[in-house]
Amino acid sequence: MCGIVGINSIEQIKVTDAVKRLKRLEYRGYDSFGYFDGKKLFKKIGQIIIPNIPDKSSIVIAHSRWATHGGVTQNNAHPHQSCDKKITIVHNGIIQNYQELKKDLATKGHSFIGETDSEVAAHYFEEKIKRKNIKEVCVDFIRDIKGEFALLVMIEGDENIYALRRDSPLVLGVAEGQNILASDIYAFSDITTKAIFFENDEFAIISSDKYAFYDKHGKKTDKKIQEFRWEQEESATENYEHFMIKEIMEEPKVARRLLMSLGAEQKENFRKFVNLIRDSRKITFVGAGTSYHASLLGVYYLHKCGIEAQTLIASEFEHFVGVDENTLVIALSQSGETMDVIEALKYAKGKDAKIASIVNVPYSTIQRMSEISLNICAGQEVCVAATKSFVNQVTLMLAIAKDFGFRITLDTIPDRIFEVLKQEEKIKDIAHSIYKHRDIYVLGRGLSYPVAREMALKIKEISYIHAEGMMGGELKHGTIALIEKGTPVIALISNSDYSMLSNAKEVEARGANVIKITNEMEGNIKINTSNDGKFGILATIVGQILTYFMALEKKLPIDKPRNLAKSVTVK
């Protein structure tokens, strides 16, 4: 989940330019950051701050950390160096056997200043390079290390950066006069559309004007430059206080962009995707977090069309689903690098299942694992909370369901979203009335159940309020015992759902402060949509705005909530 950047340039660059590239990846982790420019090692706890320095260098590696092994301390921040300071590394991933390696290195005289698994890599290279050349050491590292890594290595007196990858994302951007290594293309997508993607157990030697890739045996491999297209919004908040509200306000635009794409450049792929669903005996979605909730809506829509489908949370996929050669597994992931989803796909591939995906980042690992993939065209999300990517995932699900007979007018989605956004002040007032509460419950049925789950997730991760999204029918099987006078309960009532209305009355009778979000009945927030599935998108957007204003009232770090990162690339 950490962000790494490495630049090797023909001409010297400002070190601050490298840090700015790292800043573009800060959503991957912001516990601490650091850089090494061949002379100066800098590390700091906290979010990335562009230093006011004149320093220049032709070679820089940098890192933004999301802590896994070891606390948030300066010693645990990257880059890490060997005992003799001649080896400097940055690492994303988890070295599972680091304790055994550390113990062995300690017996050989190596001392460690931090608690991280990553520091072991610097000492490993220091020890091995005494007896072997660097290519041999890279081969040994890939053989000896258990776990995941995207690793950049600098060696004193050596003008190359050495890059190694297994399961953690790593890409080389080929730009004019420089080569840029990074965790994903957004680090350099503003200056080049040319990239080379590392496969598992590959390493590369990167100089300022050339590169060479090798497999795990040290055999040179041919790699093709990929021309990528990346829909991205400006990385500034513009007139908005936070990226989260800016990205929510972009939702009509990105939904319209996706719909246009499905009728143009993605038209052929969309047709193949739908046919693959039609030709498969079993359909199983897989996702994590917000993407899982989007897949729940997708299953609902397909079920209404008579298509049998199911969805599983990625981290538990292999424990609760059976797949075979007649199964189509459809992965949903904003980043395309979610480790739990990747592991689920590996399991499915091992059972000969077919793989398709719905992602936001082109040439991501999940897209490259798939037989066919559709892009949601949401553009870059800087805020950790997924907002516009969820909207486009569900819009795409509706487009797929429409092909199977689901009654939906897709073209009006952007306008209906805009109408929800115009209720911002009303939603803000509700946020002001409930933000001080410790617990919030969100109830849904059928179409609105996935919405309840997603709304509760947003409240938890951004507002730091315990929230439970649940099926309205399960309320009286335990949870209703927690309802007290004044407890906020958000009731999502789509269409004339009298069962859901009854659930709202049940908690209201016990003193709950019930907030109704409806499209046909009377409610606190009224959504303009008929019985065509749009409620799944529009009610969620109400939850996004509500969450934003609750967090704003609490003066929380909305775009970078504690303990979280945008791209979850570890298990």
Evaluated on CA atoms 140, 144, 150, 151, the torsion sign reads negative
- The burial of 111, by beta-carbon neighbours within 10 Å (0-12 exposed, 13-18 middle, 19 or more buried), is given as exposed
Q: Which residues are catalytic?
A: 2, 566
CB-based contacts of 498, cutoff 8 Å, min separation 6: none
- 541, 313 contact by CB (below 8 A): no
- 444, 467 contact by CB (below 8 A): no
d(CA 273, CA 356): 8
- Length of the chain as a residue count: 571
In order, the DSSP letters of 478-538 are: TGGGG--TT-EEEEEE-SS-HHHHHHHHHHHTTT-EEEEEESSS--SEE----SSSTHHHH
Tell me the residue type at 255: A
Nearest to 563 by CA among 71, 61, 8, 141: 71
SS3 55: coil
| Residue 271 CB neighbour total at 10 angstroms | 12
Nearest to 400 by CA among 276, 248, 541: 276
